[in-house]
Amino acid sequence: MEWVNVLIQGVLLGGLYALFAAGLSLMFGVMRFVNIAHGDFIVLAAYLMLSFVTFMGWHPALGIVAVVLVMGTIGYLGQRILLNRVLGKDILPPILVTFGLSIILQNGMMEVFSADSRRVSSGALDVASISLPGDLAIGAMPLLMFVVALGVLAGLHVLFFHTALGRLLRATSDDAEMVPLMGGNKAHVFALATMIASGVVAVAGIMLAMKTNFDPSAGPSRLLFAFEAVIIGGLGSLWGTLAGGVVLGVAQVVGAQIDAGFQILAGHLVFLLILVVRPQGLFARMKG
Amino acid sequence: MTTAPLTRRKAPVSLIAIFVTIVLLAAAPFWASRGTLNMLMEALAFLALAQMWNLLAGYTGLISVGQQAWVGLGGYLFFALAMFSGLPLLIALPVAALLSGLIAFPIGWIAFRLQGAYFAIGTWVIAEVFRLIAAQFSALGGGSGISLSIDVVKSLATSRGARDMVMYYIAFGLGIGSVMIVWLMLRSKWGLAFTAIRDSEPASESIGIRIRRVKFMVYVATAASTALTGGFIFLQKLRITPDAAFSVNEWSAFIIFIVVIGGIGSIEGPILGVILFFTLRSFAADWGSWYLITLGALAIGVMLVDRQGMWSILKSRGVPVLFKTTRWFEP
């Protein structure tokens, strides 16, 4: 029964990783562009939540809306002002610009919030759990996160496949050069994609803030988890990122069960194994 | 059409400049204070790392954010050999680099399954795996690291002055050697292949360059030389910990910023970058995080203004090229 418990924990953790991965996957899907500062933006969202709710005393619901709005705005403007200028055939500039952003964000957050590790308390929800028959218990918080992850992915699915904006984004993903010829504004579409991705990043950051302690240097490992979930799931597959997140989550939780120091390593090793055995991922839809 | 020999317009001036610099650096133990000597050692080691990253990213387009894997592996293998194998330190250093090069074959085979930006993040994952594995080795101090024992250090030379001298010349060899090797390489057949790949992959493939193979060999070679430098860096520090050995800030962020700000895809760029980096650092000792923020902003600025960095700006203002790598064809 202990192992069933471990498995459930891993699957629920996978939901959080799928949230981390969704934003990364979306930006790559539309723009063939990988944001190295992705993890640092997740941590930035976590600090925004901390500032609004803990420091300024806002209601959590208001805090969530504010974080999503602020991150979405940063995403739209950042893409239009900075990132659109460096996107092109040469892959070096976008990698370097986002790597530079990552270093700036980490050190900027260090200056503003200090290196102390922080957490946003969600009150009674932190320790609540649901008992199941056979000695199983599911924490309310991990379950809520998993449900939120499913909700976000479902929302993205509807957006992509059942709206006009989604059609435009898919068209851009297929051939970005054609978009202007069809009367679309490429710079605007790219910025919209980043805005949506940043909204997802905001939700991921809020979840991070409520689930664990975080500090300004927590970003890079979040980027690596997101990246691993994307590759395991298969490039360009929305629901693949959920599968990737779950595989990674289960690997980490099982690793931690074997030895506490083995948690992160086990996740990385399973990722490398899948890269060797099935480099296109579990549900690949496009080529890197 | 015949190939003219490499022409040397203004070459004498640049050759004299290179020669004078090398002589000054070679004589450093006789004119520099201990503090200056230490700074030069660090700068020469950074120059070696920067030249290697530049060879990888600037010429073959393989952007790695995980070169700390090789710095750390070189350091750890060197410490292990120095403490447990009984090899003399000056032998253990190249042996550690050679072993790292061998390990780079399977690791590179895995990393090469990813392309572009995903390759960059993949190399970072690999470096993290190395770090986490290093932390599991209790014989090498586990997570808290290990120091070289006094006896081992003394086997290098008994007096402190002599040790400084030996270490300085290792650093000198690494720094100057890396520049010279890259220069000779770029002037050879390989150099033509690199430049062709840098300029256009489809075109270079169509004239018979086996791109994947060239890139893979460059990856392995830079891994081994980065590991050699890593071994030296931790010989100088005398202590190694997983966090210091596999630090992404120290061995990737700094190195990448040095190359990018100085000028990627040229030999002069990394040299200029190292000089700028150490000059800025001497002013910014108490800036704390702002130092890294400044470097990050400068690198972003370079990408927005001129992707070829400071060296390209200087070159367009008439500063002569120091290391000629281009060939001129006369009809």
Q: What mean pLDDT do residues A148-170 have?
A: 92
Q: How far apart are CA B289 and CA A37, in angstroms?
A: 17
Q: How far apart are CA A141 and CA A37, in angstroms?
A: 27
Q: How far apart are CA A84 and CA A46, in angstroms?
A: 26
pLDDT beyond 90 at A3: no
Specify if B14 maps to a domain.
yes
In chain A, the residue whose alpha carbon lies closest to the alpha carbon of B57 is: A92
The confidence score (pLDDT) of residue A48 equals: 96
The confidence score (pLDDT) of residue B115 equals: 87
Q: In this complex, which of B61, B135, B299 lies closest to A100 when CB atoms are compared?
A: B299
Sign of CA dihedral B43, B45, B47, B50: negative
Specify if B280 maps to a domain.
no
Contact between chains at B135 and A96 (C-beta distance less than 8 A) = no
Q: How far apart are CA B103 and CA B224, in angstroms?
A: 9
Q: What is the pTM of this model?
A: 0.91
Contacts of A231 in chain B (CB under 8 A): 114, 118, 122
ipTM exceeds 0.85, yes or no:
yes
The confidence score (pLDDT) of residue A140 equals: 86
pLDDT beyond 70 at A204: yes
Q: What mean pLDDT do residues A142-151 have?
A: 93
Band the pLDDT of A284: cuts 50, 70, 90.
Answer: low
The confidence score (pLDDT) of residue B327 equals: 64
pLDDT beyond 90 at A36: yes
Name residues whose C-beta falls within 8 Å of residue B163's C-beta, 6 or more positions apart in sequence. Answer: B153, B156, B157
Domain that holds residue B159: 10-246
Domain count, chain B: 1
Contacts of B143 in chain A (CB under 8 A): 261
Most confident of A99-108, A160-169, B201-210: A99-108
What are the residue ranges spanned by the domains of chain A?
Answer: 19-217
The confidence score (pLDDT) of residue A1 equals: 65
Band the pLDDT of A208: cuts 50, 70, 90.
Answer: very high
The confidence score (pLDDT) of residue A130 equals: 82
Task: Report, as ranges of residue numbers, the positions in chain B whose pLDDT lies below 70.
Answer: 1-11, 326-331
The confidence score (pLDDT) of residue B293 equals: 92
Q: How far apart are CA B263 and CA B54, in angstroms?
A: 9
The confidence score (pLDDT) of residue B1 equals: 45
Contact between chains at A269 and B126 (C-beta distance less than 8 A) = no
Average pLDDT, chain A: 90
Closest CA to B104 of B256, B263, B223: B223
pLDDT beyond 90 at A44: yes
